[in-house]
Structure 1
Amino acid sequence: MNNPYIKEGNSIKLEVNIIPPPQPLDGVIENIFDDYLVIKCTHSYIQKEPQKVSCTIPHNEKVCMFPSTLERSNENIVFVSMPEVHTVKLIQRRQYVRVPLITDITCYLLVINNTAVIGDKAFSATIKNISAGGVLIASKLSIPEQSIFGFELKIEDKNFVFTACVVRNMKNHQDQVFEHGCEFIGLDDKDRETLISFCSRENNKVK
Structure 2
Amino acid sequence: MMNFHDRDLNLPRLCNEALNQPLTEAECSVMIAAAARKVEELFDILRIDHRNDHNTRDTPQRVAKMYVEEILAGRYTAPPRITKFDNAQAYDQLIVTGPIELRSMCAHHLMPIHGAAYIGILPSADGKIIGLSKYDRIVEYFAARLQIQEELVKQIGQYIMDMTSPRGLAVRISAVHMCKTQRGVRASHRSRMVNTYYWGEMASDTALKGEFLQECTMLDRDGAT
Structure 1 length as normaliser, TM-score?
Answer: 0.27
Q: 1 or 2, which has the higher helix percentage?
A: 2
Q: Greater relative contact order: 1 or 2 (C-alpha under 8 angstroms, separation 6 or more)?
A: 2
* TM-score, length of structure 2 as denominator length: 0.26
| Structure with the bigger percentage of strand | 1
